[in-house]
Each structure stands twice: as C-alpha cells, then as structure tokens.
Chain A
Amino acid sequence: MRLEVFALTALLIGCATVPPPTPVRVSTDAFLTQRGVLTIRGRQFPLTGYLALSEHDGIRLIMTHTLGQVLADVLIKPDGAMHVMRPSPVLRREWIERFVAADLRRFAESGTLTFRDRHHTLELRTVETKPGPQPASLFEVPR
C-alpha cells in the first residue's frame, strides 16, 4: 500500500497551483451520490463522491476510493472559502485545493460532469439524489 500511495502522490507533484477563492452559488438542497473515474497520466482511479449541497451553507464533498478509503473531505462555503476538513492519506493538500475544489465549484454552479485539463480528467455520473435540506453540522468549519 505504501508503494501505491507514494506513486500516486508522485504523479501529482508539480501540478498544484491554488486559484484565488471566488463565491460559489448553490441552487438546491440535496444529497448526491456520484461515481467518477479520475484519469491521471493515463491511469484510472474509480471514485465515489458524496455531496451535501446547501443553498445557504455551501458544499461538502466526501470523496472515497472504490475500496472505501476517504481520499478527500472538502467544504466550500458560499463566499468561496475552501476548507480541507481532514488530511488525506493519498492526495496532497495542494492537489485537493487546486483540482478537487475547482471541479466541485464548477459542478455546483453549472452541473458540469466532465472536467479536463492538462493534468487530469474527471468523468462523473450522479447515481443517487436525495432532495432536501442537509444537516448544518456538515458545513461547520472546525476551530
């Protein structure tokens, strides 16, 4: 397992430049389950994303590996402030900030399901939607 963690991290080194925060507009309250395939340098990693969407409180994403391990836990507030809620055993913080958060913003605002740039491709599909308000605790920033 250590070899795989090191290798995935090595693939991502040098790719991260964090963009400045911009407000994010979420148009619905819902809990989504998404499946995605992340492609980095020709290698594919299936992922599951659990998204809590709140018009008033922002977006919370838990991204897991196909085997269940949490790869990223991100909160984006309506003012655009992004918080990495827990360290990832696999993904560098800068990569989460640069790519995961950016893709998340685009999805929330436009419903985009495919993200491509020179570093990565992410193809998503929503497999389950549960409309309704989400617990406020999901959007609280730890002190």
Chain B
Amino acid sequence: MKRLLLILALPVCGWADDVAPLEKVKAGMAALKSVYLEFTQERHLSLFAEPLKSEGVMLIEKPDRIRWETTAPYQTILLGDHKSVAQFEDGKKLKLGFPQMLQRVMEQMTWMHQGNLDALTADYTVTVTNTSIVLIPKDANIRGMLAAIEMHMAPEFVAVREIVMREPAGDSTRIILANERRDVTYPVGTFDQSKPLPLADVKRAVNHAP
C-alpha cells in the first residue's frame, strides 16, 4: 500500500499521440494542483476464495499533501506531507511506530507530484506498455514483499484506472479508482494532522465546487 500511495499521485491529462507515456504523466502532474479520487480496494489472498474488500477516498494537494481515508468496513485516516505523517484510528490519533516508512512514501509522492518521476528510478525499474506503467523495486528485500506495482491507465494515459500491487507468493492488492475530480479546492483542515476535517465536510465542499 505504501508503494501504492506514491503511484496514486499520477493523474494525467490527454496529450498528442506522439508524446511518450511517461512524458504525458510528467507533464500532467506539473499542471495539476489537486485531485480527489474514490477507491475500492480488493485484497486477493490465495487463502480466500473471495477478495477482502474495503472502500475509501484519496485526496492530494500540491505540493506534498495527501489524505488516504478508508471508510468501509472501518475508518482509518492516513495523512502526510514531506515533513510528517499522522494516522487516526476510530477518531484517535496514534503514536505511530516507525513513521519514517510513511515519511519515505510522502517524500516519493512529493517527487511525483512535482513531476519528478526520475527520482523514482532510484527505487524502481520503470517500464511502460501500451496500457500500463510497471514499477519493479530495485531493493531485493523490498522485492521479497512486493514484486511489482502496475498502473493500469485509461486510453491515452489520461488517468489511472486501477493499481495492482503483486506479491511474490501470488497474493495481490487491486485498487480501483473512480469519481476523479481534478484541481479541487479543499477546505481548511482537510490535511490537518492534528484534527482533520471530517470527510463529510470535505466531500460537501468538493461536490459543490464548479
């Protein structure tokens, strides 16, 4: 998931056919000020016949703020920027163990949000197919837990439709994105790491935006 978060900062705009996909991604990110997405997450464990499902929203605001909130079947809020992270569980702020891991994710998301995809090549081998971007961790220890991240794109790489994180033993996590809103103006408190604005209030502001 932590690797997923950095991928989800990559909504893009449509471009001419002769522009390489990664260049489209970079260009799109440079212009985007914020994004709102709803997600459905499916955790595919080989042990279970059916995936384990959850739902939520992802909010990003340039240059480096993110809110990942799971809303069903439980609520948890993960907030971050390039300096710090916070997590709220059942309304209570946690004294996180090892926030450095999450801070690393935030740093990588900052790079992407600024269009600095090249910085990701320090951690991933990046390949592009006709319909997807694939990231493979360079660190062998990471590859032992995460084999690859696949970003399945809309035509012309105008948006990310789905993220799949594949694990070496065959398990995977699939995140389906929907209801994207771009360049939304988030109300004050949306990314507050001490007292985040309730999601209902954020959604009300987003839904009423022109």
A residues near B (Cβ < 8 Å) are: 1-4, 7-8, 33, 35, 37, 40, 42-46, 48, 50, 62, 64, 66-70, 73, 89, 125, 127-128, 135, 138
9 closest residue pairs by CB, A with B: A43-B97, A67-B1, A4-B98, A127-B74, A128-B73, A44-B94, A35-B74, A68-B1, A127-B73
Closest to B169 in A: A86
> Considering only CB atoms and an 8 Å cut-off, how many residues of chain B contact the other chain?
30
Check if B101 is an interface residue, CB within 8 A of chain A. yes
Kindly list chain B residues whose C-beta atoms are within 8 Å of the C-beta of A70. Answer: 45, 171
- Is B73 in contact with A37, judged by CB distance below 8 angstroms? no
Check if B52 is an interface residue, CB within 8 A of chain A. yes
Task: State the total of A-B contacts with C-beta under 8 angstroms.
Answer: 70
Closest Cβ of chain A to B141, distance in Å, is 5
Closest Cβ of chain B to A50, distance in Å, is 6
- Is A45 in contact with B142, judged by CB distance below 8 angstroms? no
Residues of B38-86 at the interface with A, using a CB-CB cut-off of 8 Å, are 43, 45, 47-49, 52, 73-74, 76, 78
CA distance A89 to B143 in the complex (A): 12
Kindly list chain A residues whose C-beta atoms are within 8 Å of the C-beta of B100. Answer: 3-4
Kindly list chain A residues whose C-beta atoms are within 8 Å of the C-beta of B52. Answer: 33, 50
Closest Cβ of chain A to B118, distance in Å, is 22
Check if B17 is an interface residue, CB within 8 A of chain A. no
30 contacts between A and B (CB under 8 A): A1-B139, A1-B145, A2-B141, A3-B98, A4-B98, A4-B100, A4-B101, A33-B52, A35-B74, A35-B89, A37-B94, A43-B95, A43-B96, A43-B98, A44-B94, A44-B95, A44-B96, A46-B87, A46-B94, A50-B52, A62-B45, A66-B87, A67-B1, A68-B1, A68-B165, A73-B47, A125-B74, A128-B73, A128-B74, A138-B47
Closest to A35 in B: B74
Kindly list chain A residues whose C-beta atoms are within 8 Å of the C-beta of B73. Answer: 33, 127-128
CA distance A24 to B139 in the complex (A): 42
CA distance A24 to B165 in the complex (A): 36
